[in-house]
Amino acid sequence: MSIGDLLRFALQAAAGSPLRTGLMALAMAIGVAAVVVLTALGDGARRYVVNEFNALGSNLVIVLPGRTETGGIGIGNLSASTTRDLTLRDAAALLRADGVVRVAPLVVGDAEVSSGGRLRSSYVVGTTADFARLRRLELAQGRFLPNEGLERAGSWAVIGATIREELFGPRPALGARLRIGDRRFRVIGVLASSGQGLGMNTDELVLVPAASAQAMFDTNTLFRILVEARDRDALARVKSQVANILTARHDGERDVTLLTQDAVVGTFDRILAALTLAVAGIAAISLAVAGILVMNVMLVSVTQRTGEIGLLKALGAAPMVIRRAFLAEAAMLSLAGAAIGECLGFAGAAVLRATFPDLPAYPPSWAVIAGLATALATGMGFGTLPARRAARLDPVQALARGL
């Protein structure tokens, strides 16, 4: 029997019982759609995080107080225990390192912010002029923190777009007075609305000089120091110099952790890629369920078509031909179901993107192909048992069943 005849025969048989066929195709479609949508979600999350990190700039060395002992860089290491304070003087010292362009210390806390009777709580970030360039912040109005000495506690504040909207509304914000905690500041700039930023939405930030923030939060330590190298090539050199300078300043003890973007991005990339795979695996379970359904429906089909199988044998069909006819039917239905599932999956991913515009939820091409291949493999795998049962039927008894 030629391949073309085999497929046509299987197609006619499938069309002969639309309910059975529809059920099988639907099961496959749901399984494949689940794989496509869930991997789109997982991969979208991965891309989102990687993009966010890359937006921070790729030439950064991040200095954290405290030393982590583990070799690898995981999420847990970001909260290393503090041993010795990182100070503004440490930050200033890093500027001397070769290849360093900018250094931005960070002091972070939250405080009540009020102006003209309106009040809200907000993250307050103490930093220096370099932070704006380092994070590539755009200003909507006014200017950023002035380039003063690191330890000058000026009373200037730059506010995010949302803060401006909520505290000032239609009133002009530039030049207005702002109360942060129990201190007074003057608004000198408003950040352009960005909505971007990992874990820290710049729209809801209030930025003040680092020394002012330290005084406000009554601390001498820094949350981070961001060090920008001249370019990517300088990164390794800068990193080792930063380590040496800080070790020297901390009585010869290496008690800071240095992260580079590469490592962080790479880690998140790997973690989220693994997560995507895991999610795909879970979705593939629905394909296995679909496979079991295919098997049952096919077994019913073999029972219903027993008379026909007997006839085909009487007309000279070898067992192998019968087996192939049933396998072709299973393969065809699986593929049709998978194709429908891919369409549903892509539609679902589009809905996801429309709902969460920040999330680049595109189904990864490997998942599209794997979904199709898995559907075909499960369909044929689970179709094998019914097909073999059909091929082994005793022709006399099968014929006695009638068509």
Partner 1 sequence: MGQIELRAVDRIFRIGDTRVHALKAISLSIEAGEYLTVMGPSGSGKSTLLNILGLLDRPDHGEYLLEGREVGTLPPDQQAGVRSRRIGFVFQSFHLVPRLSAADNIALPMMLAGVPARERRRRVAAALAGVGLEDRADHRPQQLSGGQRQRVAIARATIMQPALLLADEPTGNLDRATGAEVTQLLEALNHGGTTLIVVTHDPVMGERARRRLLLDDGGLADDRRR
Helical segments of 256-318, H only: 261-304, 306-314
Which range of residues in 107-115, 142-150, 283-291, 316-324 is near partner 1 by CB under 8 A?
316-324
Q: Which of 107, 108, 67 is nearest to 87 (CA)?
A: 107
Instruction: Give 159 or 391: the residue with its C-beta nearer to partner 1.
Output: 391
Q: What is the DSSP string of 254-267?
A: --EEEEEHHHHHHH
Question: Taking the complex as a whole, how short is the minimal distance between the CB of residue 326 and partner 1, in angstroms?
Answer: 14
Binding residues for partner 1 restricted to 381-400, rule: CB under 8 A = 395-396, 399
β-strand 100-115 against 183-191: which pairing, if any? unpaired
Binding residues for partner 1 restricted to 320-359, rule: CB under 8 A = 320-321
Question: Taking the complex as a whole, how short is the minimal distance between the CB of residue 18 and partner 1, in angstroms?
Answer: 12
33, 213, 293, 317: which one binds partner 1 (CB under 8 A): 317
Question: Taking the complex as a whole, how short is the minimal distance between the CB of residue 37 and partner 1, in angstroms?
Answer: 36
> How many whole angstroms separate alpha carbon 286 and alpha carbon 290?
6
Which range of residues in 26-34, 204-212, 272-280, 310-318 is near partner 1 by CB under 8 A?
310-318
369 is an interface residue for partner 1 by CB under 8 A: no
Question: Taking the complex as a whole, how short is the minimal distance between the CB of residue 339 and partner 1, in angstroms?
Answer: 24
Question: Taking the complex as a whole, how short is the minimal distance between the CB of residue 319 and partner 1, in angstroms?
Answer: 5
What are 112's two structure tokens?
């009540």
Q: Which of 11, 392, 66, 37 is nearest to 257 (CA)?
A: 66
Between the two ends of the chain, the Cα-to-Cα distance in Å is: 22
312, 332, 375, 380: which one binds partner 1 (CB under 8 A): 312
119, 192, 236, 318: which one binds partner 1 (CB under 8 A): 318
Question: Taking the complex as a whole, how short is the minimal distance between the CB of residue 340 and partner 1, in angstroms?
Answer: 23
> How many whole angstroms separate alpha carbon 104 and alpha carbon 220?
15
DSSP state of 195: -
Helical segments of 56-124, H only: 88-94
19 is an interface residue for partner 1 by CB under 8 A: no
Query: 306-314 and 261-304 helices cross at what angle (nearest 10)?
Result: 80
Report the interface residues with partner 1, using CB under 8 A: 1-2, 5, 9, 12-13, 15-16, 307-308, 311-321, 395-396, 399, 402-403
